[in-house]
Structure 1
C-alpha cells in the first residue's frame, strides 16, 4: 500500500503531499492519521529542518472525512458513542496535537477544496497560501455533526468569532477571494504557481537560524493562552538561550561584515 504522505526534501525545507487524489485526500484511515503523527515526531527530532510545506495531490487539498464511511458507519466512524469518542481522541485528534504543536513553521499550500477536517488541517498550519481555484468550508453542520478535530478552536483564532460562526453555522463554502479578504489565507496565486510560491516562501523562512524559528513559533503558540507577564518571562528565558547559540553570533557577525551568514543549527 502506498503511503498517504509523500515527503520530499529541498535543503532545509520539507515538502509534504497528501496523496489520495481518488478520494480528494479524504482523512478517514487510521494509517493516514498515524503517518501525520510519525511525520511530526521525525521532524521534531531533525534540527536541520527549518520549514515545512503541506499540500495535496490532485484537485483537492483535503476533503475531510470520507462520507461513504460515515454512511456505512465503517472505519473511524464505526462503533458505539463511547467507542467513537475514543476513536476521535486516539485518532484524528492526534493530528492537531502533533501538527499544530510542531515547532517548525508550516505553510499550507491549498491547491483545491479544503472542506471540513481539510479546512481544519489548513488552520493547523502557520501560514496559508492558496490557488485561485481553492474553496473552503467548515461544513460539519451540513452533515449533522460538529468540528471534531479542533476547528472550533482554530478557525476563530484566524478569522475571528463572527466569521467563524458564520462558516460553522451555515456550513457554506467560500471561494479563494473571500478567504483572502477574511484573512483565512495570506496570498493567492495561480494553480500552476502555487507550489513554486510556497517553496519560495518556505526557503525565505528557512534562511533564518533554525533555533530562532522554533523558539519564535513556540512563543507565538504560547502567547495565545498566556498572560502578558507570563509570556514576557518565557520570552526572556528563550532569549537567553538564543543569545548563546553559535548561529546568533554568526548572524551578528555576518550583518556587521555585510556578508551572507552560514548557519549550522548550533
Structure 2
C-alpha cells in the first residue's frame, strides 16, 4: 500500500516496523487523510509479523497536533471537534495502547497538542535533546485531548499536569525526562539509532508477555488491589501455558540466551 502523509518501513530481519509522520512542512500536523493512512499502516503492522513499532516524525518536528487548515471555520458550518475526536483521535489512541507489541515514540522535535499526547500514548518515549512537549490546547481555548487529561496526571502528578495544561508552557525533553513523563533523552543525532536498537531488542523479547504487561499496568490505576491481583493471576496462568515461558525456563536451565517467538 502506498502512502503520502506517512511512511511505513518494515524490516523483516529485525521484525521492526517504523511509521514516520511525513508532512514536515506542516510539522507533521494531522489531517483526516493522515489519520486514514495511519490507521491503514497500523493494520499492515499488525498483520506483517512485526514485533516492535517505532513512531517518529520527518523533519524538525514530531507532530504539531491537528492541522487547523483541515478544519472548517465557516459560521454555521464549523467542524464539530467532538465528532473529529470520536472518528479519528480516540480510535488512534485506543489502538496504540492495545497493540500487542511494544510501541516506541522517537520524538525528534516539537510534540504539541494532540502530537504530544500521541507520543505519550506509546509504551516508551525517547526524545531528542532539542525536542519539547507542549499542551497547546489552552492557547486556542480548548482542553487537552487524545488522552492528555488521563496520561499527564498519571505520569507527573496533578500539580505538574495542571500547570502544563493551564499555561500551555513548553516542556523541554530533559525536564520531561526528569519529571518521569518520558523514558529517555538522547543527543539529536543519536535518537534514531537508539530507537532502532531498542526496538530490535524488544522485538526479540516475549512480546506476548509484553502485551500482558501493558494491559496490567494500564488497568491498575482504575482497579482495586483485589481486582488487580486477580488479573495478575489470570494473565500468569495464560502466559504459563505459552511457548515463550517454556523456552525461557529451558534457556535458564541450559544457561543460554532464550529464543522467544511471541507465542
Deviation at 1:122, TM superposition (A): 0.7
Which of the numbers 224, 237, 242 marks the counterpart of 2:239? 242
Cα deviation code 1:198-227 (max 9, x no counterpart) = 111122222211211111111112222111
Shift of the 260–126 alpha-carbon distance from structure 1 to 2, 3 Å rule, reads same
Deviation at 1:78, TM superposition (A): 9.0
Q: 1:125 is paired with a residue of what secondary structure?
A: coil
Deviation at 1:105, TM superposition (A): 1.7
Distance, in Å, in 1 between the alignment partners of 2:168 and 2:255 is 53
| Aligned: 1:17 with 2:20 | yes
Shift of the 25–241 alpha-carbon distance from structure 1 to 2, 3 Å rule, reads same
Shift of the 263–78 alpha-carbon distance from structure 1 to 2, 3 Å rule, reads farther
Distance, in Å, in 2 between the alignment partners of 1:105 and 1:78 is 43
Q: 1:91 is paired with a residue of what secondary structure?
A: helix
Which of the numbers 111, 115, 130 marks the counterpart of 1:114? 111
Distance, in Å, in 2 between the alignment partners of 1:169 and 1:58 is 29
Distance, in Å, in 1 between the alignment partners of 2:115 and 2:81 is 20
Deviation at 1:45, TM superposition (A): 4.7
Deviation at 1:69, TM superposition (A): 4.2
Shift of the 53–78 alpha-carbon distance from structure 1 to 2, 3 Å rule, reads farther
Deviation at 1:149, TM superposition (A): 2.3
Deviation at 1:80, TM superposition (A): 4.7
Confirm or deny: 8 A CA contact 1:49 1:210 kept in the other structure: no
Distance, in Å, in 2 between the alignment partners of 1:166 and 1:52 is 31
- The TM-score, its normalising length taken from structure 2, stands at 0.90
Match of 1:6 in 2: 7
Match of 1:140 in 2: 137
| Aligned: 1:209 with 2:206 | yes
Q: 2:188 is paired with a residue of what secondary structure?
A: coil
Deviation at 1:9, TM superposition (A): 2.0
Cα deviation code 1:76-115 (max 9, x no counterpart) = x99357x442222112222112112223221111100001
Shift of the 149–79 alpha-carbon distance from structure 1 to 2, 3 Å rule, reads farther
| Aligned: 1:52 with 2:57 | no
Which of the numbers 77, 80, 90 marks the counterpart of 1:79? 77
Confirm or deny: 8 A CA contact 2:100 2:208 kept in the other structure: no
| Aligned: 1:265 with 2:262 | yes
Match of 1:35 in 2: 37
Confirm or deny: 8 A CA contact 2:65 2:114 kept in the other structure: yes
User: What is the root-mean-square deviation of aligned Cα atoms in Å?
Assistant: 2.2
Where structure 1 has 5 or more consecutive residues not aligned to the other structure, the ranges are none
Distance, in Å, in 2 between the alignment partners of 1:3 and 1:242 is 40
Confirm or deny: 8 A CA contact 1:254 1:261 kept in the other structure: yes
Q: 1:55 is paired with a residue of what secondary structure?
A: strand
Shift of the 4–122 alpha-carbon distance from structure 1 to 2, 3 Å rule, reads same
Distance, in Å, in 1 between the alignment partners of 2:156 and 2:171 is 13
Confirm or deny: 8 A CA contact 1:155 1:164 kept in the other structure: yes
Cα deviation code 1:135-168 (max 9, x no counterpart) = 1110110111222322111221111111111010
Deviation at 1:256, TM superposition (A): 1.1
